[in-house]
Structure 1
Amino acid sequence: MKIDRTDQSPNFNERSLPISQLVLHYTGMETGQAALERLCDADAKVSAHYIVFEDGRISQLVEEEKRAWHAGVGNWRGISDINSSSIGIEIVNGGHNFPNADDLPPYPDEQINAVIALSKTILERHEIQAWNVIGHSDLAPERKEDPGEHFPWSSLAAAGIGLWAEFEAHPDTRILFEPGDRDRGVSIIQQGLAQIGYDIAVTGQFDERTKFVMTAFQRHWRPSNIPGVIDMDCLQRVGALVRLLP
């Protein structure tokens, strides 16, 4: 795996936490070059440690020991300064922005293979646990959608990257709870989501925050169906993932 260090971003500072998380993003821009220029623009005040292009090329923009500015406001497993605790990888893909939200561009095999290879080396260097390999939408469900429901999380998991559980081919998607509902069952799934790592209060009320978190959960762990409601299949998936936690 070859990593280019030609382009460097000025957008970083010192960490205040040890590295424990890996965060994956899509660039959400029309071209990889446009994304690279923005990540290296001092006025943009955004960056990432790495950017992976469609053809599998990898550029390192910020040294891993530094705090790149990729995550913004968010929370995962009780950590709110995600930039200090994480390595950020930007993956060149238009996502929900280009060409449009209804026509998500694929991630080429060459690119995903490069993401897998890079992620493996990062996990080895920093002993990052599977439940701390996340998408931008997981830590900021109200703000972000990346790396999107078209990102192949299951392929990464098959390579030993990230938390995953196998589920039935024909899931039971009977709706249990919708926004506005209040029930002990809502509390149970909120508790499970919090155990996985999401920033969610256990209230028993299916409020707006719960809908955003459910949508992020589905985007990551059930990308074929993301209505944001609580159904039987999601209840089972949350339970299966919680059972994989220490």
Structure 2
Amino acid sequence: MRAIVLILLACVLAACATTPPEERNPLAAWRPSPNHDPRRPVVIVLHHTEMESAEAALLTLQTRNAGGRVSAHYLIGDDGALYQLVAESERAWHAGASRWGGVSDLNSASIGIELDNDGSEAFSDAQIASLLRLLDDITARLDIPRHLVIGHGDIAPTRKRDPSALFPWKRLADAGYGLWPRAQVAPVPPGFDPWAAMRLIGYDLRDPDAAVRAFHRHYRGSEDAQWLPGDAEILFDLQQQLMAMPEPAIVP
């Protein structure tokens, strides 16, 4: 019994020691619990650097540049070289003002991956192969749902368009990442509401034109701000896929 008491006391003291005093609320009595772990990301956000090289992007991501400080967890060069800039447990500054599925602080809930691309060129095979290896690793270790790989333009449709309409979302979907319509989509039922489907997917609808443009960039490879033929069928299929997904497991 004495040994058990000593072990419990050691656990409490360890919890107390690992929480700096400045993080404790002075309004409350500190009674630490060992039942906690670091906050974990639940989304992966893809960007393009819109710069001329990976070296230039690294300089921007590592310094206080003229446009304000910015960072990402990873950068993938056009040649497939992989760089890590921020620990996955830390909050990188890559998402900015954004929203996805009601989450408004995407920096705190995501892993940011920058892709060396100027925004007007195709993404190289080496780069996408490196990205897929990284996604395999991150989603397995951090237990991030594989369909929650999205673009910066999806979460910030009024401000951003990255990765561009040239990004190969279908190739990622073939590897099991992101949400993508199936080859055979069902007819749209009467009364189907495309806006409700957009909200279910995660889009912020406060600027409808920007949301539709972001949807088209991701799923149609265009920048159209008006609905296109076939959009309803795609949205209905995506909605059906999401509704069929099991509820996420509740873990400690």
Shared topology, TM-score over 0.5? yes
Tell me which protein shows more strand as a share of its residues.
Answer: 1
Contact 2:39 2:89 in 1 (8 A): no
Instruction: Give the residue type in structure 1 aligned to 2:81.
Output: R
In structure 2, the residue matched to 1:193 is: 198
Give unmatched runs, 5+ long, in structure 2.
1-22, 24-37, 185-189, 246-252
Contact 1:131 1:196 in 2 (8 A): no
SS of the aligned residue for 1:37 comes to helix
In structure 2, the residue matched to 1:20 is: 42
Runs of 4+ in 1 over 4 A off after TM superposition: none
Instruction: Give the residue type in structure 2 aligned to 1:37.
Output: L
Please show how residues 33-182 of structure 1 align to structure 2 within 5 Å: 33-43=55-65, 44-95=68-119, 104-167=120-183
Instruction: Give the residue type in structure 1 aligned to 2:213.
Output: T
Distance 2:159 2:80 in 1: 28
- So what's the TM-score if we normalise by structure 2? 0.75
- After the TM superposition, which of the residue ranges 190-199 and 227-236 deviates more from structure 2? 227-236
Distance 1:60 1:200 in 2: 33
Spell out, residue by residue over 1:138-196, the C-alpha distance to the aligned partner (whole angstroms, 9 max, x if none).
Answer: 0000000000110001101111111112347xxxxxxxxxxxxxxx97x9111110000
Spell out, residue by residue over 1:79-98, the C-alpha distance to the aligned partner (whole angstroms, 9 max, x if none).
Answer: 10000000000000000xxx
Contact 1:120 1:161 in 2 (8 A): no
Give unmatched runs, 5+ long, in structure 1.
1-13, 96-103, 169-183, 202-208
Distance 1:81 1:115 in 2: 24
In structure 2, the residue matched to 1:212 is: 210
Deviation (angstroms), 1:131: 3.6
Contact 1:116 1:156 in 2 (8 A): yes
Alpha-carbon RMSD across the aligned residues, in angstroms, is: 2.3
Contact 1:167 1:237 in 2 (8 A): no
In structure 1, the residue matched to 2:51 is: 29
Which structure: larger Rg? 2
Aligned length: 202
Deviation (angstroms), 1:216: 0.3
Spell out, residue by residue over 1:48-82, the C-alpha distance to the aligned partner (whole angstroms, 9 max, x if none).
Answer: 00000011100000000000000000000111000
Deviation (angstroms), 1:197: 0.6
